[in-house]
Structure 1
Amino acid sequence: MAEPRNRYSLVSLTFHWGIALLVAVQVGLITVFERYDAAKDPLAGAYIGLHKSVGMTILALTLGRIVWRLMNPAHPLPVAAPRWQNLLARTTHILFYVLLIALPLGGWAASSAAGRAVEWFGLFSLPGLPVPLDRALARTFLDMHEAGVKVLYVLLALHVVGALKHHFIDRDNVLYRMLPILRRRP
């Protein structure tokens, strides 16, 4: 089996693991938010405000990651892997990029349609997107946002299972390239 090249660059690793960490934070924030009565508890507003701020950060980092990747193409996939696996890997990565842009934009659109501000960690407010003020439209955007999150969970599961398959079954160095704590296999 042809071995994958060495590790990704520090910039690529930082984008990958930074965005992954922020996605995990998002899951935690929305889980906590859902335990509060948004109409009665001021903490609910704080959690959803943080959720929006982290979402905008994910959007900015994802756009930066795409620019970086265009300038620094991804390492080739293992030559010995079946074509369908390489196609699934490429499709999964493209869908990650699409969702990591669409989810924050969908949340921003929902906030804009509801007439709610999107602030970035209390430092500044983002302008509303050019959508009509319409509660039903806001709900539609929010429903789409929630559906997209479910797709993201499926992609995350595929991504993790694929990485573990490469490491424990194929015994190649694909996971080594992206996980700094692993040693390269001989």
Structure 2
Amino acid sequence: MQPISYSKAQIILHWTIAALVFFQILMHEGIIQVWDGRMTGTLPNEPTIHPHAIAGVLILVLVLWRLVLRRQRGVPGLPEGEHPALKALATGTHWLFYILLLAMALSGMAAWLLGLEAVGTVHSIARFLLIPLIALHVVAAFAQHFWFRTDVLRRMLGLA
């Protein structure tokens, strides 16, 4: 049986991960400067404690926790009567988020800890997938609320 709402833990994890991802996007240039210094030899090629790296590890742990909760508890169903294409887009978007967030956290850790430049480049480029995905997610949430008049946004705000 599907739950009719998200649990408090699921809601808190969603918004905490969102805040950490936003932080990562804002702090991207700072980590790039340190990374470039490591790769050019102006800084020792050793991983150091950096807020971007710490936030990446937190994202990894929280996304895994969210997946465990999803498996144990489930998630509310998509709105009844919604077009199958929109349901497929919503489902695909959510799974792409999980895959991308896990891949970015793992690739970032591998690049940072092992000094792997190619992996670091892939990690950095992945943000060009993540940022539009976030925009799509936000637009879809507002469309569900204001255009389709569903409770999708309210559920993730803990208001449904």
- Where on the TM-score scale, by shorter chain, does this alignment land: which range? 0.7 to 0.9
Q: Note the residue ranges of structure 1 that are not aligned, 5 or more in a row.
A: 115-137
Q: Is the 8 A contact 2:5 2:155 kept in 1?
A: yes
Report how far residue 33 of structure 1 moved: 4.2
Q: Look up the SS of the partner of 1:165 in the other structure.
A: helix
Residue 160 of structure 1 is matched in structure 2 by 138
Amino acid at match of 1:156: I
Q: CA deviation at 1:58?
A: 0.5
Residue in structure 2 matching 1:175, options 145, 153, 157:
153
Task: Report the CA distance between 1:154 and its aligned residue.
Answer: 1.5
From the CA coordinates, give the structure whose radius of gyration is larger: 1
Greater RCO (CA < 8 Å, at least 6 residues apart) = 2
Q: Which runs of 5+ in 2 are unaligned?
A: none
- Cα contact 1:7–1:176 (8 A) shared by 2: no
The root-mean-square deviation of aligned C-alpha atoms, in Å, is 2.4
Give 1:139's match in structure 2, choosing from 114, 117, 120: 117
**1:80 and 2:58 correspond:** no
Task: Note the C-alpha offset of 1:8.
Answer: 1.4
Residue 15, structure 1, aligned to residue 27, structure 2: no
Does structure 1 retain, via aligned residues, the 8 Å contact 2:31–2:50? no
Residue correspondence of structure 1 range 81-160 to structure 2 within 5 A: 81-114=82-115, 138-160=116-138
- Is residue 26 of structure 1 aligned with residue 4 of structure 2? no
Work out the CA distance in 1 between the residues paired with 2:138 and 2:157.
12
- CA distance in structure 2 between the partners assigned to 1:35 and 1:145 by the alignment: 15
Give yes or no for contact 1:166–1:174 (8 Å, CA) kept in 2: yes
Which amino acid in the other structure matches residue 93 of structure 1? H
How far off its partner does 1:79 sit? 1.8
Alpha-carbon distance in 2 for matches of 1:69, 1:106: 24
1:112 is displaced (CA, Å) by 3.3
**Mapped partners of 2:128, 2:70: distance in 1:** 26
- TM-score (normalised: structure 2): 0.84
Which amino acid in structure 1 is aligned with residue 99 of structure 2?
V
